[in-house]
């Protein structure tokens, strides 16, 4: 049986912390689908297509990764794709409380899909996309925090 997992997120933009979690998940599952979440109520710097492209560029070195998007519930997307797990990155205890609630609700909706929590490498525990966007707006070098392609896209977007 092929074991499929999904890793959902806004990825606005994808960071090295995300890539780290995805690389480790790719060693645990036959296939990992990185899911760019599209939420009309959430304002993003990058549109859906830009976020998909950045994720594809950042993850191109991994053979068992697919990048897709959804506007619906993560658990529904996982069910449609035949996934047995939803990967969630946990940086701190504060992340866990929220993620724990979502995991329990997902289990209630679909008991056959499990949530797997992965911690990023400790050098990425303080890193999130909001911080990257803010640093970029102020002209700071973010090249150690995001893939090179993302650095370029941030420079293009911030100058616009």
Residues recognised as catalytic: 18, 42, 91, 129
Place of tokens 């897709």: 68
Six-digit token string for 142: 């973010």
Q: Is the separation of the CB atoms in 120 and 22 below 8 Å?
A: no
Instruction: Please give the structure tokens belonging to residue 124.
Output: 């990425």
Query: Which H or E run contains 2?
Result: none
Query: Dmax of the chain from CA atoms?
Result: 49
């Amino acid at each position: 049986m092929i074991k499929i997992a999904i890793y959902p997120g806004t990825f606005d933009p994808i960071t090295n912390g995300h890539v780290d979690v995805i690389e480790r998940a790719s060693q645990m599952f036959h296939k990992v689908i990185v899911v760019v979440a599209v939420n009309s109520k959430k304002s993003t710097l990058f549109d859906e297509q830009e976020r998909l492209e950045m994720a594809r560029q950042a993850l191109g070195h991994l053979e068992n990764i697919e990048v897709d998007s959804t506007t619906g519930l993560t658990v529904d997307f996982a069910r449609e794709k035949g996934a047995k797990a939803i990967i969630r990155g946990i940086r701190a205890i504060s992340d866990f409380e929220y993620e724990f609630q979502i995991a329990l609700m997902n289990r209630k909706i679909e008991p056959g899909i499990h949530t797997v929590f992965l911690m990023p490498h400790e050098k990425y525990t303080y890193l999130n996309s909001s911080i990257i966007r803010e640093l970029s707006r102020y002209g700071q070098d973010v090249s150690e925090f995001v893939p090179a392609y993302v650095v370029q896209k941030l420079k293009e977007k911030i100058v616009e």
